[in-house]
Homo-oligomer: A and B are copies of this chain.
Amino acid sequence: MVDQRFYQHLGPISLATLLGSLDVECGDKRHGKIQIHNAAPADLAGSQDISYLKRSKRPTKLENCKAAICFVHNDNIDHVKNFSCVPVVSKHPRADFAHILSKLYAEKEYGSNDHNKYDKVKIGANVVIGAGAEIGQGTKIGPNSTIGPGVVLGENCTIGANVVIEFSLIGNNCKVHHGAVIGGTGFGIALGAQGGVDIPHVGRVVIGDNVSVGCQTTIDRAMFGDTVIGNGCKFDNLVQIAHNNKIGDNCLFAAQVGIAGSCDIGSGVVMGGKAGVADHIKISDGATLAAHASTMHNIPEGEVWSGVPAMPIRQHMRSVSAIRRLTRKKVKPAKEQG
């Protein structure tokens, strides 16, 4: 379920122990002895796992959920009736699930590490490398950088100064420029009884070959599974790539671009500076999002979109012209009256 280079798997743990301090109701006390192996979202959970159903007014499709146990809100108890999993009634199913995650998985410690074991690798002063990290030949790491335990860097990569890389697999010939952070936790917050609860992220970042990541750029790891960056992508400075994005090959993102979570971005996609993409958006191959544009809609293959909210660029140009005409008309009479 999780990559054990990065995470320690603390399971199996009995359901009773897992639910210990939580304010939940489990229908059948006998279930307390069930050994839970993993925690996973409904579509990924196996038959020894615990999952959750997000509280929702609309019924959620759970057809393929194989989980043994599932947190569910009382309002949604009907949604799990047809499934084999045992419901655990919770006021905050996603927050309780987050709590379970932190009991089942722990981030690996940095441990101690002998830099001399890396053959033909240039490691700058004060670089910290976690235990189990693998670094390909010809790779250079700038001073004061931090490479987490289990991280894999390919061959002939150039890692700048003051960079942080954790929970990531990075291909060959990549460049990660100064101050960039790859593999930080994603921004996933569940509503709990006492406010927001950070959902532990147990995923990874997987980056292809020939990728360049600009200074101060952040690429978050997935909550589950992978944030994926294809071969040949080039990202400028101060770009934000949120958790669970899938980005194809040869994309070019200019500075200060921001991609919210779980987007599906094709190959050859170009984004101008400060462009923004809402979560769960699909941007197809060869599409372009202009500088300072912000899209909440999918962009079809090869199209160029611009504006806030973004629309096809010809439509946006017409909007801009129409507004300009409008102000001309409105201004003239005012001048005549004056």
Q: Is the CB of B198 within 8 A of A234?
A: yes
Q: Chain A 144-175 against B: per-residue CB contact (8 Å), 1 yes, 0 no?
A: 11101000000000001111101000000001
B contact residues around A323 at 8 Å (CB):
319, 322-323, 326
B contact residues around A309 at 8 Å (CB):
320
B contact residues around A163 at 8 Å (CB):
162
Question: Beyond A196-B234, A198-B234, A250-B196, is A327–B315 a contact (Cβ under 8 Å)?
Answer: yes
Q: Is the CB of A184 within 8 A of B195?
A: no
Q: Is the CB of A255 within 8 A of B160?
A: no
User: Which A239-277 residues sit within 8 Å CB-CB of chain B?
Assistant: 240, 242, 249-250, 252, 254-256, 258, 260, 272-274, 276
Q: Is the CB of A160 within 8 A of B178?
A: no
Q: Is the CB of A330 within 8 A of B324?
A: no
Q: Is the CB of B164 within 8 A of A164?
A: no
Name which residue of chain B comes closest to A306, CB basis: B309
Name which residue of chain B comes closest to A126, CB basis: B126
Q: Is the CB of B215 within 8 A of A181?
A: yes
Cβ of A210 within 8 Å of any chain B Cβ, yes or no, is yes
Q: List 19 A-B contacts (CB under 8 A).
A: A110-B125, A128-B143, A142-B146, A142-B164, A161-B164, A162-B163, A179-B216, A181-B216, A189-B234, A215-B218, A216-B216, A236-B242, A240-B273, A255-B260, A258-B273, A291-B294, A318-B327, A318-B330, A319-B324
The 5 A-B pairs at the shortest CB distance, nearest first, are namely A195-B232, A128-B143, A292-B294, A146-B161, A187-B236
A residues lining the B interface (CB < 8 Å): 110, 124-126, 128, 142-146, 148, 160-164, 166, 175, 177-179, 181, 184-185, 187, 189, 194-196, 198, 210, 212, 214-216, 218, 220, 231-232, 234, 236-238, 240, 242, 249-250, 252, 254-256, 258, 260, 272-274, 276, 278, 291-292, 294, 296, 307-309, 315, 318-327, 330-331
